[in-house]
Amino acid sequence: MAGIVIASILLLLFLIPLLFPGTVASEVKKIANERLDTKMDFSKSRLSFFTHFPSLTVSLDHLSMTGSAPFRNDTLIKAEQVAFGINLKRLIFDNEVKINKLYVSKALINIMVNQKGQANYNIYISDPKNIKNEDKPEEGTAIRLERIDLEDCHVKYNDRSAKILVDAKGFNYIGKGNLSEDIFDLNTNAKIDNIDFYYNRTAYLRKKELRADLITRINTNALSFILQKNELKINKLPLKFTGFFTILRDGYKINIKAASENTTVKDLFSVMPPEYLTWMDETEISGKSDLLFTFRGNYNVSKNQKPDLAFNLKIDEGAINYQNAPAPLKDFQMNLNAVLPSLDVEKLLINLRTLKFKVGEKDYFNAYLHSKGFNEMTVDASVKGALDLATVDAALGLTSIELKGILKTNIQAKGVFSTSKKLFPKTIGGISLHQGWLKTDSYPNPITDITFVANVLNKAGTFKDLIIAVAPASFVFEGNPMYVNATLSDFGDLAYNAKIKGELNVGRIYQVFSQKGLDVTGYAKADLSLKGKQSYATNGEYDKLDNRGTLLLRNIKATSELFPKSFFIKEGNFRFQNEKMWFEKFYASYGKSDFDINGYLLNTINYFLESQGTLNGNFNMKSKLINVDEFMALEKGENKDRNIEVQYAKEDHPKMSGVVIIPKNLNVALTANADKVEYNGLVFHKLSGKVGIAKGGLFLENTTFNIIDCILGIAASYKDETPTSAHFNAHFTAKDFSVQRAYKEIPMFHDMVTAAEKAQGIISVDYNVKGDLNGNMGPIYESLEGGGTITLRDVQVKGLKLFDGISSQTGQKVLNNPDMKGIVINSTIDNNLIHIEPFTFSVASFRPTIKGTTSFDGLLDLRMRLGLPPGGLVGFPIVITGTHEEPKIKIFSKTGQKIYDAIYDEKNNKVVREEKVSKRKS
């Protein structure tokens, strides 16, 4: 009997998937289409007891799902398999699909929130039937989850509005509970092999292991999560979470407290970056620590609501002893409290009550800091210490760096720091380093004989009364000494007196602080004497400045956050003469582009002293090649330190090149000559003219270059708006060039003058056009506005369908291939349409006159009057509609097709409506 029962059960395990596959598969597709506002694909579906035994599951292999608007092109979930557990009783007896378990394996779960607070996970469409008929029993397919199981997943949470990035790999999660209830307890067990946590692009956790044992009460009516039992372990540091988290329609409400109380300093250090963990195995670490973190308040971008963040860390009786150092670091105490109300740095409160330690019996360090605000900061701080750096090095076991020297500091500051109000805390003290010595494992030779003595004094608490003296500062590297003596005073109108002398192998000293194998070379030699006041240059009192000396740079790499590649200064020979920094020899390259520059910059000292200074200058520039494409913001390059807007744009538009971003702090004029300029597949030869950069824009004046064997003149302005959009305004003039070459080689001419496909001959152009450029730095035709003339000097048109159609309709074969000489065509463009003013030409003894509208997409609404011989005084009307490819010719008609223009949103660089043909007659 038992054998029969077992055999029957086994038979059912195989038969049930065969009896109900159509029902289950169709119901899964139905619920996806009805309840999900997204695109979902999967390769195949299977119904089985054996995928997640003993549950009957429908499995979707290789499932992918995109996010909700505005992330419809971005992946939300991509999984090797997603399986839904089915309520077997309801399936057999009621023929209904009730989903009660969810299994996800080997998936990428990619959660995204943009700067406006819009998220990609709002894909679920609530069922209006259930809202209106809440008392009626539910029919058909329903989700009543009792278990969620994630296996070996990769979870990314990128919230740009909160500047938070969480990247968790090896994410394993089991959640159990009666998830169908309005309020239920979710029992969770989670394990993450590697988790990274970034805030504002700074890593606070990297490659940490995480374990979690949680009980969370979930209220589905309010979508609220109450943390009842929540124990986490990050590496060896235990954390307990309490509080709640409620998801609102436009944000969330949060009140969370995380604490790690009565733990050890060694457990606390286990969350350090992974490269330090081997150091811990060789180091005796003792002491007690308490950690408290709170996050409370509402988050709503539209209402400008953000929660309060608070952090408190206490360390007592701390000690660090690396490999039984002769003098361990001991009596380490720290009490830090930081509060960030509404996540607003202008309200930042920092209270470092204590930071102190001893090394041996004599060396000590004591500090405290109390501050409020950021740009206008109230400060009360003190730093006192006397340390033998070699002893500290041994106690801490700094294996990658060796330090020597006697460091002493004693500085007290109290007052307000504000650049806008020219306030600086009352300060007295200084810092000194003698007999300094530094060596890293990245370079075999040390920096020696480091001497640094700096004193600061401010008795009144203003910029005007601040005095900083650096005398002397010096070091020796590879036998070459470097000296700096400087005094800075009256920061309200900065007075400076500095002398800098020495030479430096920049590439080698870079390797001292960097990693081996980096291709960084360079040499610098300075002999400078700089003396003056900020106002002397500002007011044009250049005779009061005494700036002189030379600076020589060779083989220096430099990067800018705006450009993808590095600038390489092959040779820079600079001479300082009062207000001017002369570029006597300057050879540089950027990718394939090269620059030979001479001229001068004005007020370079002020530029480096001011937080928002502008570089002014006048140069002559020569180049063999300028490749504009390499400057486009989203192009690939070795520069990894990019502007955050550029970085976001690269993530959002991986296939775009971006536009060229112009630096905002330049006001420079160049007389430019370039043998060749490459841009978007076009090649310009012999560029010559005036180029200006000012206020973040680029200007061309009286500029000419050679293209398709003609001289093209241009006066233009260009200004980037975002990394993927820009605006331009240009006036083009070109005389006597081949219309056929222009059609084939210049994309914009090809799109504006489509009739040129069948034309041969010589024309001239004088045209003004302005508009926007897209993310590949090509024109957005719907944005273009302008007008001008095209002059046909001697043009033959053969095989154009428009003239062929007119010839066929009128029976006049002479109209097939007209010769057009000395004709001036005036036109204007706007909203993707080209409006042609009337122009008349002669064909045999006929005098056709044409006017009307065409579009960049080929639509036609043209009127033609065919003047009959003699003289064309008598004629008849013709209407040409349709498209350039399929024109429609109507004789003796004045009724055309009105073309509605496109609508372009200039503010958001979007085409709201494309041009279209009216259905009604005009």
**pLDDT tens per residue across span 807-827:** 777 777 767 777 788 889 899
Give the pLDDT confidence of 394-407 residue by residue, as tens digits.
888 877 788 999 99
Contact (Cβ atoms closer than 8 angstroms) between residue 645 and residue 722: yes
Q: Give the pLDDT score at 24.
A: 53
Which pLDDT band holds residue 408 (cuts at 50, 70, 90)? very high
Find, among 724, 729, 860, the residue nearest to 783 by Cα: 729
Kindly write down the DSSP assignment for every residue of 828-876, as one continuous string. EEETTEEEEEEEE--BTTBEEEEEEEEETT-BEEEEEEEEETTTT-EEE
pLDDT at 763 over 90: no
Distance of CA 255 to the CA centre of its chain: 31
Residue with tokens 């292999």: 61
| Rounded Cα distance, 457 and 352, in Å | 23
Burial grade of 904 (CB within 10 A; 0-12, 13-18, 19 or more)? buried
- Say which residue, 62 or 805, is predicted with more confidence: 62
Find, among 748, 653, 763, 663, the residue nearest to 710 by Cα: 763
- Say which residue, 439 or 277, is predicted with more confidence: 439
Contact (Cβ atoms closer than 8 angstroms) between residue 358 and residue 334: no
Contact (Cβ atoms closer than 8 angstroms) between residue 525 and residue 499: no
Q: Give the pLDDT score at 708.
A: 86
Phi and psi of 748, rounded to 5°? -70, -40
* Two tokens, residue 29: 């597709």
Mean pLDDT of the 597-603 span: 91
pLDDT at 295 over 50: yes
pLDDT at 339 over 60: yes
Q: Give the pLDDT score at 9.
A: 39
- Provide the 3-class DSSP secondary structure of residue 823: strand
Give the pLDDT confidence of 487-512 residue by residue, as tens digits.
999 988 889 999 999 998 877 776 76
pLDDT at 164 over 80: yes
Would strands 910-913 and 40-41 be described as parallel, antiparallel, or unpaired? Answer: unpaired
Which pLDDT band holds residue 140 (cuts at 50, 70, 90)? very low
- Provide the 3-class DSSP secondary structure of residue 674: strand
Mean pLDDT of the 568-593 span: 93
pLDDT at 52 over 70: no
Which pLDDT band holds residue 725 (cuts at 50, 70, 90)? very high
Task: Give alpha helix (H) positions in 152-231.
Answer: none
Of 192-201, 460-469, 624-633, least confident by mean pLDDT is: 192-201
Find, among 602, 609, 615, the residue nearest to 419 by Cα: 609
Which pLDDT band holds residue 277 (cuts at 50, 70, 90)? low
Find, among 652, 611, 151, the residue nearest to 375 by Cα: 611
Contacts of 212 (CB under 8 A, 6+ apart): 188, 189, 190, 191, 230, 231, 232, 233
Give the pLDDT confidence of 438-464 residue by residue, as tens digits.
988 777 888 999 999 999 999 999 999
Q: What is the 3-state secondary structure (H, E, C) of 542-564?
A: HHHCCCEEEEEEEEEEECCCCCC
pLDDT at 36 over 60: yes
Mean pLDDT of the 586-607 span: 90
Mean pLDDT of the 163-181 span: 82
**HSE (CB half, 13 Å, CA atoms) of 514?**
12
| Rounded Cα distance, 228 and 353, in Å | 33
pLDDT at 775 over 50: yes
Share of the chain above pLDDT 90, in %: 35
Which pLDDT band holds residue 700 (cuts at 50, 70, 90)? very high
Contacts of 61 (CB under 8 A, 6+ apart): 42, 43, 44, 45, 46, 80, 81
DSSP-derived letter for residue 663 is: P
Of 64-78, 271-285, 427-441, 648-662, least confident by mean pLDDT is: 271-285
Which pLDDT band holds residue 668 (cuts at 50, 70, 90)? very high
| Rounded Cα distance, 541 and 533, in Å | 10
| Rounded Cα distance, 732 and 717, in Å | 12
Find, among 428, 351, 424, 433, the residue nearest to 390 by Cα: 433
Q: Give the pLDDT score at 516.
A: 44
User: Average per-residue pLDDT in the chain?
Assistant: 83
Q: Give the pLDDT score at 7.
A: 42
Burial grade of 163 (CB within 10 A; 0-12, 13-18, 19 or more)? middle
Would strands 426-440 and 819-830 be described as parallel, antiparallel, or unpaired? Answer: unpaired
Tell me the C-alpha to C-alpha distance, in Å, between residue 105 and each of 59, 144, 425, 428. 11, 20, 58, 62
Q: Give the pLDDT score at 921.
A: 46
pLDDT at 869 over 70: yes
- For 714-749, b where at least 16 C-beta lie within 10 A, e where not — what string? bbbbbebbbbbbbbbbbbbebeebbbbebbeebebb
Q: Give the pLDDT score at 527.
A: 94
Q: Give the pLDDT score at 13.
A: 39
| Rounded Cα distance, 581 and 129, in Å | 75
Highest mean pLDDT, choosing among 295-309, 770-784, 861-875: 770-784
| Rounded Cα distance, 298 and 775, in Å | 36
Give the pLDDT confidence of 107-138 residue by residue, as tens digits.
998 988 888 778 887 776 655 554 444 444 34
Give the pLDDT confidence of 891-909 residue by residue, as tens digits.
888 888 888 899 998 888 8
pLDDT at 538 over 60: yes
Contact (Cβ atoms closer than 8 angstroms) between residue 508 and residue 442: no
* Two tokens, residue 185: 């307890």
| Rounded Cα distance, 838 and 826, in Å | 8
Contact (Cβ atoms closer than 8 angstroms) between residue 272 and residue 289: no
* Two tokens, residue 209: 């292991």
| Rounded Cα distance, 52 and 146, in Å | 14
| Rounded Cα distance, 262 and 314, in Å | 10
**HSE (CB half, 13 Å, CA atoms) of 50?**
6
Cα torsion 118, 122, 128, 131 to 10°: value is: -90
Would strands 626-627 and 666-679 be described as parallel, antiparallel, or unpaired? Answer: parallel
Q: Give the pLDDT score at 30.
A: 64
| Rounded Cα distance, 414 and 425, in Å | 5
Of 98-102, 430-434, 544-548, 560-564, least confident by mean pLDDT is: 98-102
Residue with tokens 């209402």: 303
| Rounded Cα distance, 51 and 82, in Å | 11
- Provide the 3-class DSSP secondary structure of residue 647: helix
Residue with tokens 């009604």: 920
Segment (H or E) for 775: none
| Rounded Cα distance, 702 and 920, in Å | 48
Q: Give the pLDDT score at 746.
A: 81
Q: Give the pLDDT score at 135.
A: 42
> Can you name the residues that pair with 905 across neighbouring β-strands?
910
- Say which residue, 588 or 514, is predicted with more confidence: 588
Which pLDDT band holds residue 16 (cuts at 50, 70, 90)? very low
| Rounded Cα distance, 510 and 516, in Å | 10
- Say which residue, 462 or 180, is predicted with more confidence: 462
Q: What is the 3-state secondary structure (H, E, C) of 326-393?
A: CCCEEEEEEEEEEEEHHHCHHHCEEEEEEEEEEECCCEEEEEEEEEECCCEEEEEEEEEEEEEHHHHH
Give the dihedral sign, CA 386/391/395/398: positive
* Two tokens, residue 506: 């920049």
DSSP-derived letter for residue 462 is: B
| Rounded Cα distance, 196 and 274, in Å | 11
Contacts of 883 (CB under 8 A, 6+ apart): 858, 859, 860
Burial grade of 871 (CB within 10 A; 0-12, 13-18, 19 or more)? exposed
> Can you name the residues that pair with 27 across neighbouring β-strands?
none
Cα torsion 41, 45, 51, 56 to 10°: value is: 110
